[in-house]
Amino acid sequence: MSVRGIRGATTVEQNEETVILQATSELLKEIVKENQIIPDDICSIWITVTHDLDATFPAKVIREMAGWELVPLMCSLEVPVKGSLEKCIRFMVHVNTDKQQSEIRHVYLGRARALRPDFSTK
């Protein structure tokens, strides 16, 4: 079994708690679905947000989900590069899996599809 990283990102249009939490939940659910994983498979999740999202911690919604209470979560700020995508939430999910690196499905939603169009199938 290996530890693999699953990348994901999404965007929101407003710096509002409910909008940020809804987008975070949607991104996590899509990563779980695409990779057929459960909370016990997860080593940790590192979540970054751009500097313009300060209404809440995205991890809040994950901590409230049944079965996710023990998953280690960390939030931090993304490097504020001029001209980079605004109002963006990014994930790095570390997962224990027997899957090969090529079998991992990274998920990019909303305007974040522009970050990795090669991974954006929806």
Which of 7, 105, 111, 113 is the catalytic position?
7
16 is catalytic: no
Which of 13, 16, 63, 103 is the catalytic position?
63
First to last CA, the chain: 29
The two tokens of residue 46 are 């590192």
Burial class (CB in 10 A: 0-12, 13-18, 19+), 23: buried
108 is catalytic: yes
Which of 26, 75, 105, 111 is the catalytic position?
75
105 is catalytic: no
113 is catalytic: no
Which of 26, 30, 34, 78 is the catalytic position?
78
Which of 105, 111, 113, 116 is the catalytic position?
116
Phi, psi of 39 (to 5 degrees): -55, -35
Phi, psi of 4 (to 5 degrees): -120, 155
34 is catalytic: no
Residues that are catalytic: 7, 63, 75, 78, 90, 108, 116
